[in-house]
Amino acid sequence: MKMTSLVMKTKLEERLEKRGRTFSFDHEKDRLSVREAGKTITLSLPQVIARFEEEGEEAIRKVLYYVNEGLHASLSKPNLSDSLDKVYPVIRSRSFPKESKSGEKFLVREHTAETSIYFVIDEEKAYHFITEKMLQDSGVSASKLIEKAFEHLENLPVSYRRDRVSENDFYFVRINDGYDASRILNARFLSEMREKLTGEMVVAIPHADVLIVADIRNETGFDVMAHMAMQFFAEGVVPITTLPFVYNDGKLEPIFIMAKNRPKE
User: What does the domain layout of the chain look like in residue ranges?
Assistant: 5-75, 80-154, 161-264
Would strands 127-129 and 161-165 be described as parallel, antiparallel, or unpaired? Answer: unpaired
Question: Confidence class of residue 264 from pLDDT cuts 50, 70 and 90?
Answer: very low
Which of left, alpha, beta for 20 (phi over 0: left; psi -120 to 50: alpha)? Answer: left
Helix residue ranges per DSSP H, 171-251 = 187-196, 219-235
With contact defined as beta carbons under 8 Å apart, do 52 and 8 qualify? yes
Residue 260 pLDDT greater than 70, yes or no: no
The radius of gyration of the chain's CA atoms, rounded to the nearest angstrom, is 19
The neighbouring-strand residues paired with 213 are 171, 203
First to last CA, the chain: 44
What's the mean pLDDT in 25-53?
89
**Percent of the residues in the chain that have a pLDDT greater than 90, as a whole number:** 68
Residue 259 pLDDT greater than 60, yes or no: no
**3-state secondary structure at position 33:** strand
Give which of 180, 169, 190 is closest to 246, Cα–Cα.
190
Q: CA neighbours within 13 Å on the CB side: how many for 171?
A: 21
Which secondary structure element, helix H or strand E, spans residue 202, and what is its range? strand 200-204
Q: What is the dihedral of CA 210, 215, 219, 224, to 10 degrees?
A: -20
Least confident of 50-64, 107-121, 143-157: 50-64
Residues 188-215: pLDDT tens digits? 999 999 999 999 999 999 999 999 999 9
Taking the C-alpha atoms of residue 173 and residue 189, their distance in angstroms, rounded to an integer, is 12
Could you tell me the pTM of the whole model?
0.77
Helix residue ranges per DSSP H, 85-240 = 132-138, 142-154, 187-196, 219-235
With contact defined as beta carbons under 8 Å apart, do 159 and 129 qualify? no
The neighbouring-strand residues paired with 216 are 200
| Summary mean pLDDT of the chain | 90
Taking the C-alpha atoms of residue 47 and residue 27, their distance in angstroms, rounded to an integer, is 15
Residues 94-148: pLDDT tens digits? 999 999 877 889 999 999 999 999 999 998 777 889 999 999 999 999 999 999 9
| Long-range Cβ contacts of 223-228 (<8 Å, 24+ apart) | 223/257, 223/261, 224/165, 224/166, 224/168, 224/170, 225/168, 225/170, 225/257, 226/257, 228/170, 228/204
Residue 67 pLDDT greater than 90, yes or no: no
What's the confidence (pLDDT) of residue 137?
92
What's the confidence (pLDDT) of residue 142?
96
Question: Confidence class of residue 258 from pLDDT cuts 50, 70 and 90?
Answer: low
Residue 75 or 225, more confident: 225
Structure letter (DSSP) for residue 104:
P
With contact defined as beta carbons under 8 Å apart, do 91 and 209 qualify? no
Residues 215-237: pLDDT tens digits? 999 999 999 999 999 999 988 88
Which secondary structure element, helix H or strand E, spans residue 5, and what is its range? helix 5-16
